[in-house]
Structure 1
């Protein structure tokens, strides 16, 4: 029997690794880091065999020569290791990953791309570093396109999450499965719409995304300079509202936004909330528990951590 035992949503930032000492709001940073540790402990207590790890691509694993909306890693998975995140091969639950790739087509009509040699970046390896530290689990990595428009709609992401839930629960093997959504919350990156770059920096970025498959490291120093020069654009009110939806089992309300509306209210980085939405849908929108929310302008991001525990929901239903 296969069970879905826990869901975790967590923001990521490589600046935790590279600029910790320069962080001004150390108290907030420490509370966020502690919340990651608490989520890691919740994952350990749930004893998963496999983690469906849903993250975004920051043009170190996928480039503009090919950008699927959704890609499942079904065999080899390599982490790029930028900015102090884990590097090298990651363990993949090949049996479950292949089953999902097939079942989503056969049962749900989702023609999700697959990769037998996937490269992930900090959009997922940040979670490996902080949420899976010391845990003996295999992965089913799922990369969502959130930065190269046209993006999959929020409604499409929510429906994919439900389809993944159905497929996981129908898996004939014996697994305890946890789900992590990595990304968000509100933030704005100095990244252009690749279709219409404006100015030298934006043209450089698009060139890096188009041509960086074999030598992405060559572009990294200037990329980092452009990002570090950006001004923070957070929306704590939006972040609080989204987290309150998650706590009430209503993360599906995010689908009320169009892609353009979400960017306008919470920045282009908030498109990563597709990963949280997918995670919540796989958990059947069980009510969540917020562990932390910290607006971190020096990391350019509203940083949040939450846990969705279906066992808690079942206990509450029995008591009522």
Structure 2
């Protein structure tokens, strides 16, 4: 019997690794880091065999020559190792990954992309570093396009979460499965719409996204300078409202936002909330416990952590009409 035993949603920021000593709000940073440790301990206590790791990619594993909406790693998985995050091969639960991909396609639910040699970046390896530290688990990496429009709609992401849940629970070999969604909360990156870059910096960024498949490291120094020069644009009020929805088992209500409205309200980085939504749907929208929320302007991001425990209470599944935007 395969069961889904726990879910975690957590923000990520490589500035935790590269600029910790320059962080001004150390008390906030330490509370967030402590919450990651608590979530890691709860994952360990849940004893998963496999973690479905839902994350984004920041143009270090995918480039504009090919951007699928959803990609499942079904073979090798290599972390790029930028900014002090883990580097090198990661253990993949290949049988479960291929079962998910096959079931989604053959069942006519989703024509997901798959990769037999997937490169991930801190959009997932940050979670490996802090949430899976020391855990003897394999992963099923799921990459969601959140930065190269057109993006998959929020509603489509929720539908995929429910579809993957069905395939996982039907896996005949038996697994204890946890789910981690990495990304968000509110933040704005100095990244252009790749279709309309304006100015030298934006043209440089788009050039790296298009041409960096073989030499993405060559673009990193200037790219980091552009990011570090950006002003923080957080929306703590939105973040609190979103985390309240997660706590109540109502994460599906974020689908009321269009892609454009979400960016206007919470920044282009908030498009990563698709990873939380997918995670919540995989947990059948079980209510969560908020472990931390800290607005971190030094990291350009509202940093949150929540744990979804399906054993803690009866999951909330909204009627189909309620889930309509």
TM-score, normalising length: structure 1? 0.98
SS at match of 1:150: coil
Give the superposition deviation at 1:109.
1.8
Alignment check: 8 A CA contact 2:233 2:300 kept: yes
Q: Does 1:124 align with 2:124?
A: yes
Alignment check: 8 A CA contact 1:60 1:213 kept: yes
Give the superposition deviation at 1:106.
1.8
2:271 and 2:109 map into 1 onto residues whose CA distance is: 24
SS at match of 1:255: helix
2:278 and 2:224 map into 1 onto residues whose CA distance is: 29
Q: Does 1:311 align with 2:311?
A: yes
Q: Does 1:203 align with 2:219?
A: no
TM-score, normalising length: structure 2? 0.96
In structure 1, the partner of 2:92 is: 92
CA distances 1:162-214 after superposition (whole Å, capped 9, x unpaired): 00000000011110000000000000000000000000000000000000000
Matches for 1:1-320 after TM superposition, within 5 Å? 1-314=1-314
2:165 and 2:309 map into 1 onto residues whose CA distance is: 15
Q: Which runs of 5+ in 2 are unaligned?
A: 316-325
SS at match of 1:311: coil
Report the structure, 1 or 2, having the larger helix content: 1
Give the superposition deviation at 1:238.
0.2
In structure 2, the partner of 1:318 is: none
SS at match of 1:312: coil
CA distances 1:240-286 after superposition (whole Å, capped 9, x unpaired): 00000000000000000000000000000000000000000000000
Give the superposition deviation at 1:101.
0.3
Alignment check: 8 A CA contact 1:188 1:268 kept: yes
SS at match of 1:142: strand
SS at match of 1:53: strand
SS at match of 1:305: strand
Deviating 4+ runs (over 6 angstroms): none
2:173 and 2:165 map into 1 onto residues whose CA distance is: 15
Give the superposition deviation at 1:107.
2.1
Q: Which runs of 5+ in 1 are unaligned?
A: 316-320
The Cα RMSD (Å) is: 1.0
Alignment check: 8 A CA contact 1:108 1:163 kept: no
